Amino acid sequence: MDKAIFLDRDGVLIDNQQHYYIWKSDQMKFVDGVFKNLQLLQENGFLLFIVSNQGGISRGLYSKEDILKLHDELIQTFRKNNITITDILFCPHHSDNEKCLCRKPEPLMIEKLIAKYDLNPSESVMVGDSDPDMQAAAGAGIRGIKITANQNMLPYILELIQ
């Protein structure tokens, strides 16, 4: 069984100070240190996953295809920096419009990835910037690390790999 890092997207990987909803490549500005941090995690045996709420789809602000295109660009950018994102799951729903089982704080996205990739929950961690991220981690039976949004997560990474 492999160990994994589940990463929230906006505020953890992509700086979301200027754009609350990020769905176009020109809105994609990376949080300081993100490439080095993900490389360190990878070098220490973690598989990397992204789990993200994308309620703007439900609200009609952008389409699922827009997010898939952005995620393709995201994967390519990470690949150019020697980082492999094993998989990305996102919830297209918004609690203002409908109920679902996948939107964080529900743990379903994490649970699906744990099952699909035969991951070890006791050695896996969710890194997020919100209470729903931490609730999703707890619900999936993994450790949650809450960081300050849009800040370099290096201190937390160093703690994980030591």
Q: How confident is the prediction for the chain on average, in pLDDT?
A: 96
Total Cβ atoms within 10 A of residue 36: 14
Query: Mind listing the pLDDT tens digit for each residue in 39-56?
Result: 999 999 999 999 999 999
Tell me the pTM. 0.96
Which residue, among 33, 60, 51, has the nearest Cα to 117 in the 3D structure?
51
| DSSP sequence for 17-40 | SS-SS--SGGG--BPTTHHHHHHH
**Which residue out of 2, 10, 32, 133 is catalytically annotated?**
10
Whether the predicted pLDDT of 20 surpasses 90: no
Structure tokens at 56: 């703007």
118 is catalytic: no
State what percent of residues in the chain have pLDDT above 90: 93
* All domains of the chain in start order, with CATH: 3-161 (3.40.50.1000)
Whether the predicted pLDDT of 161 surpasses 90: no
Which residue, among 26, 11, 3, has the nearest Cα to 133 in the 3D structure?
11
66 is catalytic: no
Cα gap 149→12, rounded to integer Å = 6
Whether the predicted pLDDT of 162 surpasses 90: no
**Which residue out of 8, 15, 129, 133 is catalytically annotated?**
8
